[in-house]
């Protein structure tokens, strides 16, 4: 982006930043901007932009200081809306708005400048008069509804102020009636078209909110820093519509009681997980600056664990985007942001830091490992699982060799892989493919297990296999295990066409169990160890072999899959879940037998 531009960037001096000014213009004209320098020490008035770059191959040319400059279509849409918004709401005395936009204000062709800019992000977003969170354009369906939603949130805020009621009072009100049935909301609900009751209006707005929070902006790694540092100065903007983030956040919190009493409570639960995550991250702003590398490592690993679902187009930013929330600790040279480094090497450096200084191996729980030129134990931070925490047991035996290639850990052997059911090609969109996969799995894997260990297939599926599979599929619910076991036998024994209406399950339960069965058999390898313990790989790209070793490693969530290598060393194949007698056991349980061993991972 901007790589073909002839724009000549002047070097930044001391605490200078570049600011862009959008020139007035019509929507049919090309965007024209000017670029100028400003010293943060002079406290310039500017607005910072937080946004998703979008597809780098889809660009539009604008003009900066008269020179052609390519930006992504998503950024162009944002700048165009801001241009028109400024035309409708000019600043005081005709003053144009200065903006900080990373794609323009940082020379993206200069890795040295990009690396130097990372430590300054905290200062920039803290100094901004306002931060705009650009959520993207709206389609024809969404636009009027989002306009209504944002205006309702602002109107609700205005009504509370007029009645001298705080958001905190409303949210903690002893009145247990849902918000949508209170007089204040009923008046606003009359404005919502195609709804016959306040409950209908509540359901519709819940779905609109849910769709809004599915947008890529809420998964972007940099919003961890940008939105949190903005605090109450963050304004959310979707298309031409805007709302202060704090107003929207309060409105959503007040919405909880009404959503729970509608048919969309499950949708709202998903919505809650999205908007509450940034609220939890605010705690990092309240921490004292780390005084040593060990404290920094613990804080960073905890932050990574709490923000595991965020994404970035540049993998190194999965680390760099989090640094600004750790209160400016002076990093060693090998940990300072450096955009000339391969992301695999950046992950390697930070893995060494976290493992050596926290005594925790929780970062080892990843869904994939697609890193070249680094040891197998270096976590691919692009694919973290929701198991990353700095909690539970730690190990003071963890060490890393001087050449940074060997990770030494302590653990107890569970057993060796004896039987393997490799993942199959099936999809819930094709019920027959799922039934065929279940039958193939049962006639090979389950039949072999029955012949070798004399186990009861019904008892094994219900009590051993389903719990460990569901644990890897996001649930430990006993009823769900029972329902899935019954569905498994239904697929196995039923010869009729697989139609929900003709099954003993409701439509919802049929589709849900079909998706679960498909996920279990198509995502990961399932194995049996030599002591008849079932295990499931948590790595979807791991191809297991007979003779691979499973052990419980101290300070690591779940168990570890290892493959014997040379000179007593092992290759790390990923985390796994265990069933049977090993279910839910950790290194701290006295019932975990076997001697404690040292394992060298390469």
Per-residue pLDDT tens over the stretch 249-272: 777 777 655 544 444 444 555 555
Q: Are residues 209 and 265 both part of a single domain?
A: yes
The residue ranking higher by pLDDT, 577 or 272, is: 577
Q: Are residues 103 and 82 both part of a single domain?
A: yes
Residue 510 pLDDT? 84
Query: Which domain, by its residues, includes 168?
Result: 142-284
Q: Which of 286-295, 357-366, 438-447 has the lowest mean pLDDT?
A: 286-295
**Does residue 481 form part of some domain?**
yes
**Does residue 494 form part of some domain?**
yes
Q: Are residues 78 and 108 both part of a single domain?
A: yes
Mean pLDDT comparison of 52-56, 171-175, 498-502, highest-scoring range: 52-56
Q: Are residues 389 and 261 both part of a single domain?
A: no
Q: Are residues 191 and 258 both part of a single domain?
A: yes
- The mean pLDDT value for 387-409 works out to 76
Q: How many domains does the chain have?
A: 4
Residue 55 pLDDT? 87
The residue ranking higher by pLDDT, 472 or 51, is: 51
Q: Reply yes or no on whether the pLDDT at 45 is more than 70.
A: yes
Residue 190 pLDDT? 61
**Does residue 2 form part of some domain?**
no
Cα–Cα distance between 507 and 518 in angstroms, integer?
Answer: 16
Mean pLDDT comparison of 197-201, 210-214, 230-234, 512-516, highest-scoring range: 512-516
**Does residue 293 form part of some domain?**
yes
The residue ranking higher by pLDDT, 92 or 323, is: 323
Q: Reply yes or no on whether the pLDDT at 415 is more than 60.
A: yes
The residue ranking higher by pLDDT, 553 or 509, is: 553
Full 3-state SS string of 562-574: EEECCCCEEEEEE
Residue 430 pLDDT? 92
Residue 580 pLDDT? 77
pLDDT grade for 184, boundaries at 50, 70 and 90: low
Whole-model pTM? 0.76
Q: Are residues 83 and 209 both part of a single domain?
A: no
Q: Are residues 347 and 377 both part of a single domain?
A: yes
Q: Which of 112-116, 299-303, 573-577 has the lowest mean pLDDT?
A: 299-303
Cα–Cα distance between 2 and 103 in angstroms, integer?
Answer: 8
Please give the distance of CA 355 from its chain centroid, rounded to a whole number. Answer: 22
Per-residue pLDDT tens over the stretch 128-139: 999 999 999 998
- The mean pLDDT value for 93-111 works out to 84
**Does residue 31 form part of some domain?**
yes
Q: Are residues 234 and 295 both part of a single domain?
A: no
Cα–Cα distance between 343 and 524 in angstroms, integer?
Answer: 26
Q: Are residues 278 and 175 both part of a single domain?
A: yes
Per-residue pLDDT tens over the stretch 465-496: 887 887 644 444 567 778 888 889 989 988 87
For the sheet containing 98-100, what is the strand order? Answer: 67-72, 59-64, 32-39, 16-22, 98-100, 47-50, 130-136, 234-238, 241-244
**Does residue 495 form part of some domain?**
yes
Cα–Cα distance between 509 and 545 in angstroms, integer?
Answer: 35
End position of a domain, from candidates 284, 319, 343 = 284
Q: Are residues 498 and 382 both part of a single domain?
A: no
Q: Reply yes or no on whether the pLDDT at 72 is more than 90.
A: yes
End position of a domain, from candidates 284, 305, 335 = 284
Q: Are residues 154 and 275 both part of a single domain?
A: yes
End position of a domain, from candidates 266, 284, 302 = 284
Residue 229 pLDDT? 75
**Does residue 77 form part of some domain?**
yes
Residue 293 pLDDT? 87
Cα–Cα distance between 353 and 552 in angstroms, integer?
Answer: 22
- Mean pLDDT for all residues in the chain: 82
Judge contact between 546 and 420, C-beta under 8 A. yes
Q: Reply yes or no on whether the pLDDT at 159 is more than 80.
A: no
317: left (phi over 0), alpha (psi -120 to 50) or beta: alpha
Judge contact between 599 and 570, C-beta under 8 A. yes
Q: What is the DSSP letter of 262?
A: S
**Does residue 592 form part of some domain?**
no
Q: Are residues 202 and 330 both part of a single domain?
A: no
Residue 392 pLDDT? 47
- The mean pLDDT value for 61-73 works out to 94
């Amino acid at each position: 982006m901007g790589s073909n531009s002839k724009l000549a960037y002047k070097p930044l001096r001391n605490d200078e930043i570049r600011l862009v000014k959008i020139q007035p213009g019509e929507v049919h004209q090309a965007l024209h901007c000017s670029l100028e320098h400003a010293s943060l020490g002079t406290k310039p008035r500017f607005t910072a932009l937080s946004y998703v770059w979008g597809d780098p191959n889809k660009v539009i040319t604008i003009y900066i200081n008269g020179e052609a400059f390519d930006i992504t279509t998503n950024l162009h849409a944002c700048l165009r809306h801001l241009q028109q918004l400024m035309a409708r709401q000019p600043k005081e005395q005709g003053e144009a708005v200065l903006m900080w936009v990373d794609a323009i204000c940082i020379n993206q062709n200069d890795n040295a400048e990009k690396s130097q800019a990372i430590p300054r992000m905290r200062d920039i977003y803290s100094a901004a008069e306002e931060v705009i969170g650009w959520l993207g354009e709206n389609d024809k369906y969404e636009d009027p509804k989002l306009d209504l939603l944002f205006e309702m949130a602002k109107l609700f805020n205005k009504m509370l102020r007029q009645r001298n009621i705080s958001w905190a009072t409303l949210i903690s009100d002893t009145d247990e009636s849902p918000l949508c049935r209170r007089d204040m909301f009923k008046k606003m609900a009359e404005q919502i078209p195609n709804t016959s009751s306040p409950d209908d209006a509540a359901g519709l707005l819940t779905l609109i909110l849910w769709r809004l929070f599915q947008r890529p902006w809420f998964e972007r790694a940099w919003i961890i820093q940008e939105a949190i540092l903005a605090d109450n100065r963050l304004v959310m903007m979707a298309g031409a519509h805007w709302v202060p983030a704090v107003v929207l956040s309060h409105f959503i919190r007040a919405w909880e009681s009404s959503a729970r009493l509608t048919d969309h409570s499950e949708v709202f639960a998903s919505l809650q997980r999205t908007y509450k995550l940034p609220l939890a991250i605010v705690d990092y702003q309240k921490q004292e600056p780390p005084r040593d590398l060990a404290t920094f490592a613990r804080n960073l690993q905890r932050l990574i664990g709490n923000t595991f679902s965020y994404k970035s187009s540049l993998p190194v930013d999965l680390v760099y985007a989090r640094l600004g929330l750790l209160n400016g600790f002076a990093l060693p040279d090998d940990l300072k942001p450096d955009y000339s480094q391969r992301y695999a090497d950046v992950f390697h450096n930070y893995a060494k830091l976290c493992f050596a200084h926290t005594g925790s191996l929780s970062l080892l729980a990843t869904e994939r490992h697609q890193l070249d030129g680094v040891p197998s134990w270096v976590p691919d931070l692009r694919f973290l699982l929701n198991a990353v925490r700095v909690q539970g047991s730690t190990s003071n035996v963890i060490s890393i060799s001087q050449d940074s290639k060997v990770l030494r850990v302590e653990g107890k052997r569970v057993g060796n892989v004896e039987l393997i059911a490799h993942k199959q090609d099936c999809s819930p969109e094709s019920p027959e493919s799922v039934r065929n996969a279940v039958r193939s799995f049962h006639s090979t894997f389950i039949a072999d297990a029955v012949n070798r260990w004399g186990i009861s297939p019904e008892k094994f599926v219900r009590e051993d296999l389903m719990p460990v599979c569901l644990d890897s599929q996001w649930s430990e619910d006993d009823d769900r295990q029972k329902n899935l076991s019954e569905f498994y036998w239904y697929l196995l024994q039923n010869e009729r066409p697989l139609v929900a209406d003709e099954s003993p399950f409701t439509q919802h339960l049929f589709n849900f169990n079909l998706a679960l069965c498909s996920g279990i058999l198509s995502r990961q390898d399932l194995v049996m160890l030599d002591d008849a313990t079932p295990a499931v790989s948590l790595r979807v790209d791991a191809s297991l072999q007979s003779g691979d070793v499973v052990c419980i490693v101290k300070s690591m969530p779940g168990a570890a899959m290892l493959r014997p290598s040379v000179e007593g060393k092992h290759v790390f194949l990923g985390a796994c879940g265990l069933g049977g007698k090993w279910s839910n056991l950790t290194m701290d349980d006295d019932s975990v037998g076997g001697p404690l061993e040292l394992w060298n991972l390469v």
